[in-house]
């Protein structure tokens, strides 16, 4: 049985594991949003950045990609993803149904926000998000890089995310 991983943020452009198939997919019941303070990768404890997370919301569906893990690498991939995504308890690991653009429905590993965690910051206005992203830097680099890479990769696979597009333009203006 194929192990699938749902990518909606940095997994789009930096999966970090061997992928045998990549298919545009939709995860119903979740919204992609900058609802997580980044205190490690794209910010610090003193000056947190923002990263994307899947925030449960029955009114929304998140478009992204389903990544099929190369057969034989499932255990190593899971260990890698847990080390990468579960650096704090801000994400919860879930197996969720995703709808592939080709009509298949598969169960995929997804990392969703833990609303009870102190890093949860859902509901920040877009302008405030832009101001934070424009200046934050962490162990993996500037917060702007994370935003620009994610927005660019969504556009490359034909997915439209109005909030990320607006944020990209606004942050470019702020950092010009």
The set of catalytic residues is 83
Distance from C-alpha of 68 to C-alpha of 74, rounded to nearest angstrom: 10
Contact 4, 109 (CB under 8 A): yes
Q: 107: how many CB neighbours lie within 10 A of its CB?
A: 16
Tell me what percent of the chain is helix, strand and coil, each rounded to the nearest 5.
30, 40, 30
Distance from C-alpha of 112 to C-alpha of 56, rounded to nearest angstrom: 8
């Amino acid at each position: 049985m194929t192990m699938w991983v749902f990518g909606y943020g940095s997994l789009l452009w930096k999966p970090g594991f061997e992928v045998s198939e990549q298919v545009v997919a939709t995860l119903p019941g979740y919204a992609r949003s900058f609802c997580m303070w980044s205190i490690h990768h794209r910010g610090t404890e003193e000056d947190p950045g923002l990263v994307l997370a899947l925030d449960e919301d029955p009114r929304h569906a998140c478009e992204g990609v389903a990544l099929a893990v190369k057969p034989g690498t499932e255990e190593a991939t899971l260990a890698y993803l847990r080390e990468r995504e579960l650096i704090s308890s801000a994400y919860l690991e879930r197996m969720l149904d995703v709808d592939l653009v080709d009509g298949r429905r598969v169960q995929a590993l997804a990392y969703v926000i833990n609303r009870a965690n102190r890093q949860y910051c859902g509901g920040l206005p877009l302008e405030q998000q832009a101001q934070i992203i424009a200046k934050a830097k962490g162990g993996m680099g500037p917060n702007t890089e994370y935003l620009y890479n994610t927005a660019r990769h969504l556009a490359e696979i034909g997915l439209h995310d109005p909030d990320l597009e607006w944020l990209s333009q606004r942050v470019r203006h702020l950092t010009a």
